[in-house]
Structure 1
Amino acid sequence: MKQISWNSQGIDMPELDFAAVEKWIADVASRQGRGVGQIGYLFCTDEKILEVNRQFLDHDYYTDIITFDYSDSHIISGDIVISLDTVRSNADQFVQPYRRELMRVIIHGILHLCGIDDKGPGEREIMERYEDESLEMIGL
């Protein structure tokens, strides 16, 4: 059974080598001492992610990613919702290639599932370091 599923709603699926991305995800998880369980990605619009944010988190704002963590012990599992609209806006804002920003967000969700947070003091810098190391693993 396939462990990682890729879906889109209201927007075109990004052009990625999904087999290579899945291997990369497994490698990143392994570096964190984790295995990969069931992970579902949903690529969507800003409006859809705002709807998810309101419905499940009671947040009334746009974001690039929402991660729902169902991990158990050392096996990561969850649903990851990514707004491709916000990924594109962030790439422009931070003067980054769209593909690099997309891959950063894809792995950001995996790092959350591995237990790395980015909300507390000093945590954002730790998350960014892991993101950068992960991106280096695939040559970005």
Structure 2
Amino acid sequence: MIEFMTEGVDMPLLDFGRIREWICEVAASHGFTVGNLNYCFCDDAYILETNRKFLQHDYYTDIITFDYTRRGRIGGDMVISLDTVASNAAGLGVGYDSELLRVIIHGVLHLCGINDKGPGEREIMEESENKALEIYEI
């Protein structure tokens, strides 16, 4: 089950049925099925509070992914700051919806075991994001 909720922001205007199908397709392409995924769209203040409380990080970010994946079935809670998504989109010169989709699938890719912090991992993550976005056909 894939759920979308908000905390202090309006729900983004996206086709969530299509996004659910896309997430399942991307997960399957990495050898996983989809269990319970919960997305919480929020503002910068909320994600900063979440980052401090659960990860002891004192900075803003676009997404925090809590991983509950077990035995080939991805599961997790993802907190996405729409403020940071908007500022990143503007800074990168890309559309807001496009950047939001990238962040949504970024969390799924983490749950599929793709990391982005170590040497060479960022490039692998970006390639995986780009392949997933091609599936969505933005």
Q: Same fold (TM over 0.5)?
A: yes
Q: Deviations over 1:87-118 (max 9, x none)?
A: 00000000001010000000000000000000
| Structure-1 separation of matches of 2:90 and 2:6 | 22
Alignment match of 2:69 (pick from 71, 82, 90): 71
2:126 equivalent in structure 1: 128
Counterparts of 1:77 and 1:9, CA distance in 2: 20
Residue deviations 1:68-103 (CA, integer Å, cap 9, x gap): 000001000000000000000000000001010000
Cα distance between partner residues in 1 of 2:125 and 2:17: 24
Letter in 1 for 2:114: I
| TM-score under structure 2 length normalisation | 0.99
Q: Give the number of equivalent residue pairs.
A: 138
Which residue of 1 is the match for residue 113 of structure 2? 115
The residue identity in structure 1 corresponding to 2:77 is D
- Say what the alpha-carbon RMSD is for the aligned residues: 0.4
Q: Equivalent residue for 2:82?
A: 84
Q: Which amino acid aligns with 2:83?
A: D
Give ranges in structure 2 of 5+ residues lacking alignment: none
Give distance in 2, aligned partners of 1:39 and 1:133: 21
1:130 Cα offset (Å)? 0.3
Query: Which residue identity lines up with residue 101 of structure 1 in the other structure?
Result: E
In structure 2, which of residues 14, 23, 26 is the aligned counterpart of residue 16 of structure 1?
14
Query: What residue number does 1:30 align with?
Result: 28
Match for 1:73: what amino acid?
Answer: R
TM-score after normalising by structure 1: 0.98
SS of residue paired to 2:51: helix
- In structure 1, C-alpha distance between the alignment counterparts of 2:99 and 2:84, rounded to whole Å: 10
Structure 1 stretches of 5 or more lacking a match?
A: none
Equivalent residue of 2:9, what SS?
Answer: coil
Instruction: Determine what percentage of the aligned residue pairs are the same residue.
Output: 58
Runs of 4+ in 1 over 3 A off after TM superposition: none
CA distance in 2, matches of 1:48, 1:18: 22
